[in-house]
Amino acid sequence: MIRNASRLAATAAALFMLASPVFAQEPSASHLALAREVAVNSGMTRSFDAMTEPLLAQLQQMNVTRPEIKQDLEQVVAILRPEVEQHKQKMVDNAARAFAARMTEAELKEVAAFYNTPAGKKYVEVQPLLLDDIVRDLATWTQNVSEYIMIRARAEMGKRGHQLN
User: Using one digit for the tens of pLDDT, what is the confidence trace for 64-77?
Assistant: 788 888 889 899 99
Q: How far is CA 73 from CA 39, 57, 65, 70, in A?
A: 32, 10, 12, 5
> How high is the pLDDT of residue 49?
86
pTM for this model (two decimals): 0.66
Contact in structure between 57 and 74 (CB atoms under 8 Å):
no
Residue 80, CB-side half-sphere exposure with 13 Å CA sphere: 13
Q: Is 96 buried (19+), middle (13-18) or exposed (0-12) by CB count in 10 A?
A: buried
Q: What share of the chain is helix, strand, coil (3-state, %, to 5)?
A: 85, 0, 15
**pLDDT, averaged across the chain:** 87
Tell me if 45 sits within 8 A of 96, measured CB to CB.
no
Q: What is the mean pLDDT of each run of 10 residues along the chain (165 residues)?
A: 51 49 73 96 90 89 82 92 95 96 96 97 94 93 96 96 90
Please tell me the distance from the alpha carbon of residue 49 to that of residue 27, in angstroms, as a whole number: 26
d(CA 127, CA 40): 14
Residue 161: predicted pLDDT? 95
pLDDT in tens, 22-45: 445 789 999 999 999 999 999 998
Q: So what's the pLDDT on residue 66?
A: 82
37: alpha, beta or left, given left = phi > 0 and alpha = psi -120 to 50? alpha
Could you tell me what percent of the chain has a pLDDT over 70?
Answer: 85
pLDDT at 24: 56
Q: Is 33 exposed, middle or buried (0-12, 13-18, 19+ CB in 10 A)?
A: middle
Residue 22's pLDDT is what?
Answer: 45
Query: What confidence score (pLDDT) does residue 156 get?
Result: 96
